[in-house]
Structure 1
């Protein structure tokens, strides 16, 4: 199999794994393809971000800010099939149970959602919806466009998942997603970071940001991603002895929320 073919399959696998876009192409979900698919995680984020950008532009013509935000959030969840939200809930159920490491991992494997998972999901969705509502309101007068915020948030949250896969060992190396992605190298994650940075800078330039704004915004998004994702990775690794597919999804949700929050805070302070 040629290297070009493997990378094309890897890009398709990233989209099929992380999104619900109908891509009628069969690719082998095997280690050689999946380990390289990490490089293309930002592409999946960009595809989701573009759809959200279109929704954020169209919805205010039909609905007020809050209903628009709720619909946009539903689209956001639907585009990933609820994959990351499920990981957020399972991680909350397991880690916040304060049981032994083995018991926490067992709880996370259970398909049923417990009280902590529900509470965590409700708080997450309320926070995201409220942030989106402000960004879609007439009060929002930031220099950076909502299109840029949505697209960059979706890109960097998925990029961090690749970094976490490469940077921390799996808690269950012979089971689930940890097994499929075992062997992801740091070079795959670094390639993903470079691609994410390229997409982010291109987005800001297209949306009219100047060099100072581009530098500040790009640096801020990277720092927030590192602090949020890195902090969660260290904490979860300490609690679970490694990371799991659920924790990758949880970190995606946390980074998205952190980036939206940082954008709102930054705009309000500088506005």
Structure 2
């Protein structure tokens, strides 16, 4: 139980900027277990975003509300994954050799492609949030806002196991080399139960909650698989930056899927 508690705290501390006044060892044994709880950290982010959505929808126009909501979403992770999205864009869109792409991604400076990719992603998320705030009263919105960050972070754990590392033994990824399929499947079950439980808590029938959970899982796996294959073809494997990019891409697609769901 102690190891699992440490793993949960490690997941929250690693993936969010939410203060948890506990000290846990950031060692491979703890971090490998923490992968099973990535989605819980994401669910906490989603829960705060959901509360923010409800607040700005009640008190602010959709435009300023969407900006503040997006800023909150970024702040909860310290823009950690957005940084990975930008670094990945700088590398894979440079059309250089594989080795040079990896070098570019390690550079702390942000290039033109990274800035462009970030602006486009933020504009996309802003417009989706704007539409959700201004047009819909769907019962799906609040529960799905909770689970979108949970599914995207679960996929980060899955990607660690399912695809090779582009930098064996280097970087943050080296700390998670002990992550196994057991952790991934445990995380999947936790995420699915979280999704179903959230739907039930917001008054959705159990069949609807299970259906939306399965749909979100399917979109996550389809988007994550396509992105992961493309990145591995470019880089020969995945890196810490690409895990962040996967999270950002999956969040954006899940948000868009939510918009489509609520407008039909």
For normalisation by structure 1, the TM-score amounts to 0.95
Match 1:75 to one of 72, 75, 85: 72
What's 2:148 paired with?
Answer: 153
> Unaligned stretches of 5+ in structure 1?
none
Residue 51 of structure 1, CA deviation: 0.7
Structure 2 match to 1:57: 54
Q: Give 1:62 shift.
A: 2.8
Counterpart selection for 1:140 from 136, 139, 142: 136
Match for residue 209 of structure 2? 214
- Which runs of 5 or more residues in structure 2 are unaligned? none
In structure 1, the residue matched to 2:127 is 130
Q: 1:171 aligns with which of 160, 166, 188?
A: 166
Q: How far apart are the structure 2 equivalents of 1:127 and 1:43? A: 25
Deviation at 1:198, TM superposition (A): 0.5
Aligned twin of 2:190: 195
Name the counterpart of 1:251.
Answer: 246
- Per-residue deviation at 1:60? 2.5
How far apart in 2 are the matches of 1:61 and 1:85?
Answer: 28
Q: Give the SS at the match of 2:110.
A: coil
Match of 1:22 in 2: 19
Looking at structure 2, the residues matched to 153 and 227 of structure 1 have their Cα atoms a distance apart, in angstroms, of: 14
SS at match of 1:112: coil
Matched, 1:84 2:84: no
Cα RMSD for the two superposed structures: 1.1
- Structure 2 CA distance for partners of 1:182 and 1:208, relative to 1, 3 Å: same
- 3-state SS of 2:263 partner: helix
Contact 1:171 1:178 in 2 (8 A): no
Measure how far apart 1:164 and its partner are. 0.5
Displacement of 1:266 in angstroms is 2.0
Give 3-state SS (helix, strand or coil) of 1:136's partner: helix
Q: 2: CA distance between counterparts of 1:55 and 1:249?
A: 23
Kindly report structure 1 stretches of 4+ aligned residues shifted beyond 6 Å.
none
Once the two structures are superposed, what CA deviation does each residue of 1:245-270 show, in whole Å capped at 9, x if it has no partner? 0000000000100100011112223x
Separation of aligned partners in 1, 2:168 and 2:121: 29
- 1:208-230 Cα offsets, whole Å, 9 max, x none, are 11244224312221111011111
Is the CA contact (8 Å cut-off) linking 2:196 and 2:213 kept in structure 1?
Answer: yes
Aligned residues: 264
1:233 to 228, 232, 250: 228
Q: Deviations over 1:150-191 (max 9, x none)?
A: 111011000000100111111111211121111210110110
CA–CA separation in structure 2 for the residues paired with 1:37 and 1:238: 28
Once the 2 structures are TM-superposed, how far is the Cα of residue 70 of structure 1 from its aligned partner?
0.7
SS of equivalent residue, structure 1 residue 78? helix
TM-score norm. by structure 2 comes to: 0.97
